[in-house]
Amino acid sequence: MKVQRLTALLALLLGLAVLAFVLAGVPGSGTAPSGAGTRSVVPAERAAPTAPPAPANPSGLPEVKASELPAEARQTLGLITRGGPYPYSRDDVTFGNFERILPRKSSGYYREYTVRTPGESDRGARRIVAGQAGEKYYTADHYNSFRFIIEGK
């Protein structure tokens, strides 16, 4: 009787050890058993931030690929994706859309960000305006015109 209990206890311990080994190799656990066919897993908190999928152009405005924007605008897009820090105190503030060129949305829907202009002593005229749904617009002429930014291209 004691041998049967001891055998059952050893079988249970062996089963738990196998289960722990198998679970250690589950993707997303942060660890994997060593050996062929394994890959390292980067914890989410260390992974580079990525922008959510860009929405389709909801405005009907002309479009511009992000890769075609000035280098300073691409830098500003990167700051927006990372959540800052922003170089100007007026960055990441509500954009009122008083010109009514962008689609009409509720107050606070849009945020604006400065695109540095080389040679300017102040913020210059270039901005990126971002909507809560992820859409972004570029203006080179201080809100007189906008182009919808196609990100990832």
**Whether the Cβ atoms of residue 109 and residue 130 lie closer than 8 Å to each other:** no
pLDDT band for position 42 (cuts 50, 70, 90): very low
pLDDT exceeds 70 at position 41 = no
- CATH 3.10.450.30 in the chain, residues? 63-150
Closest by CA position to 109, among listed 72, 78, 135:
135
pLDDT band for position 74 (cuts 50, 70, 90): very high
User: Could you tell me which CATH class the domain 63-150 is placed in?
Assistant: alpha beta
Set 63, 99, 112, 135: catalytic member = 112
C-alpha count within 13 angstroms, C-beta hemisphere, residue 139: 20
- The pLDDT of 40-53, averaged and rounded, is 52
pTM equals: 0.65
**Whether the Cβ atoms of residue 122 and residue 108 lie closer than 8 Å to each other:** no
For residues 138 and 33, the model is more confident at 138
Q: Tell me, yes or no, if 135 is annotated catalytic.
A: no
Q: What secondary structure letter does DSSP report for 142?
A: T
Q: Tell me, yes or no, if 63 is annotated catalytic.
A: no
